[in-house]
Amino acid sequence: MRQTWLFTFLIALMFAAPMSAHAGRIKDIAAVEGARDNSLIGYGLVIGLNGTGDKTGTTFTMQTLSSMLNKMGIVVDPKAVKTKNVAAVVVTANLPPFVKVGGTIDVVVSSLGDATSLQGGTLLLTNLKGPDQKVYAVAQGPISIGGFVGGGNGDSVQKNHPTVGRAANGAVVEREVGSPLAVGDVITLLLRQQDFTTAMRISEAVNSGLGSGIAEPVDSGTIRVRVPEEYKNRVVDFLAAMEGLEVTTDSPAKVVVNERTGTIVMGEHVRISEVAVSHGNLTIRVKTDLNVSQPAPFSERGRTVVTPEQQTTVKEEDAKIMVLHQGTSIGDVVVALNAIGVTPRDLIAILQAIKAAGALQAELEIL
Domain boundary among 112, 144, 173: 173
CA-CA distance, 66 to 68, in Å (whole number)? 5
Give the pLDDT score at 284: 46
Domain boundary among 173, 198, 225: 173
Domain for residue 314, yes or no? no
Bridge partner residues of 36 (DSSP): none
Give the pLDDT score at 367: 79
Task: Give CA angle at 213 (207, 216), nearest 5°.
Answer: 85
CA-CA distance, 96 to 171, in Å (whole number)? 12
Domain for residue 300, yes or no? no
Domain for residue 138, yes or no? yes
**Residue 274 belongs to what domain range?**
255-282+319-366
Please tell me whether residues 30 and 104 are part of one structural domain. no
CA-CA distance, 101 to 96, in Å (whole number)? 12
Domain for residue 287, yes or no? no
Please tell me whether residues 191 and 130 are part of one structural domain. no
Domain boundary among 124, 157, 173: 173
Write the DSSP string, 64-104: HHHHHHHHTT----GGG---TTEEEEEEEEEE-TT--TT-E
Please tell me whether residues 164 and 208 are part of one structural domain. no
Domain for residue 294, yes or no? no
Please tell me whether residues 233 and 145 are part of one structural domain. no
CA-CA distance, 41 to 108, in Å (whole number)? 10
Please tell me whether residues 260 and 357 are part of one structural domain. yes
CA-CA distance, 231 to 242, in Å (whole number)? 12
CA-CA distance, 88 to 111, in Å (whole number)? 6
Residue 239, domain CATH: 3.30.1360.40
What are phi and psi for residue 282, nearest 5 degrees?
-115, 120
CA-CA distance, 309 to 300, in Å (whole number)? 28
Please tell me whether residues 119 and 66 are part of one structural domain. yes
Number of domains comprising the chain? 3
Domain for residue 16, yes or no? no
Handedness of CA 185, 191, 195, 201 (dihedral sign): negative
Spell out a b/e string for 68-94, using b for 16 or more CB atoms within 10 Å of the CB, else e. Answer: beeeeeeeeeeeebebebbbbbebebe
Give the pLDDT score at 253: 82
Domain for residue 7, yes or no? no
Please tell me whether residues 145 and 53 are part of one structural domain. yes
Please tell me whether residues 57 and 77 are part of one structural domain. yes
Give the pLDDT score at 293: 67
Query: Edge-to-edge strand order for the sheet containing 215-219?
Result: 30-32, 186-191, 222-226, 215-219
Please tell me whether residues 217 and 273 are part of one structural domain. no
Give the pLDDT score at 362: 82
Query: Using an 8 Å Cβ cutoff, are 167 and 142 in contact?
Result: yes
DSSP H helices in 211-309: 235-243
In sequence order, which residues have a C-beta less than 8 Å from that of residue 266 and are 6 or more positions away? Answer: 14, 254, 255, 256, 330, 334, 362
Domain for residue 6, yes or no? no
CA-CA distance, 50 to 85, in Å (whole number)? 6
Please tell me whether residues 136 and 165 are part of one structural domain. yes
Per-residue pLDDT of the chain (367 residues; tens, 9 = 90+): 444 444 444 444 444 444 445 678 999 999 888 888 899 999 999 999 988 889 877 888 888 888 898 888 888 887 788 888 999 999 999 999 888 999 999 999 999 988 988 988 999 999 999 999 999 999 999 999 877 666 655 566 666 778 999 999 999 999 988 777 766 688 999 999 888 999 999 999 999 989 888 999 999 999 999 999 888 888 889 999 999 999 988 878 888 888 777 777 877 777 777 777 766 654 545 555 666 666 666 666 666 666 666 666 656 566 566 666 666 666 676 676 666 667 777 777 777 887 888 878 788 888 7
Query: Using an 8 Å Cβ cutoff, are 136 and 129 in contact?
Result: yes
In sequence order, which residues have a C-beta less than 8 Å from that of residue 6 and are 6 or more positions away? Answer: 262, 263, 344
Q: Residue 315 class from Cβ within 10 Å (0-12 exposed, 13-18 middle, 19+ buried)?
A: exposed
Please tell me whether residues 168 and 137 are part of one structural domain. yes
The single-letter DSSP state of residue 144 is B
Give the pLDDT score at 282: 47
